[in-house]
């Protein structure tokens, strides 16, 4: 249980107001505010929407124009938002000790 308390403290310690904090393991971000969660939910929803445009009778050109191109732009936009509104990315492995644990 102590691990989950430390995890909660890490995510709640956000004096800079970041929408996304560093992932605990590896490289990347995780949403920690409602704004970050809304951006993430919108991204996933739009990806699912564009997935519905592809079926077995779709040509390669149609797949590229209605799925791959929008998916590429959505992903670039999502990463730009996470980079601008999140902590600086770096490799991390576990909860940092800088929280005074």
- Position 98 scores a pLDDT of 65
Query: Does the pLDDT at position 24 exceed 90?
Result: no
Share of the chain above pLDDT 70, in %: 95
Q: Is 18 left (phi over 0), alpha (psi -120 to 50) or beta?
A: beta
Burial label, 79 (beta-carbon count in 10 A; 0-12, 13-18, 19+): middle
Is 67:53 a contact under the CB 8 Å cutoff?
yes
Summarize pLDDT for 37-73 with one digit per residue, the tens. Answer: 999 999 999 999 998 888 888 888 888 888 899 999 9
């Amino acid at each position: 249980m102590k691990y989950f308390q430390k995890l909660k403290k890490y995510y709640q310690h956000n004096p800079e107001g970041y929408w996304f904090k560093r992932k605990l393991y590896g490289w990347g971000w995780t949403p920690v505010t409602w704004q970050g969660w809304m951006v993430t939910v919108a991204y996933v929803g739009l990806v699912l929407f564009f997935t519905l445009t592809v079926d077995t009778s779709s040509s390669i050109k149609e797949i590229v124009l209605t799925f791959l191109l929008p998916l590429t732009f959505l992903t670039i936009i999502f990463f730009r938002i996470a980079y601008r509104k999140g902590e600086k990315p770096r490799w991390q492995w576990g909860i940092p000790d800088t929280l005074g644990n």
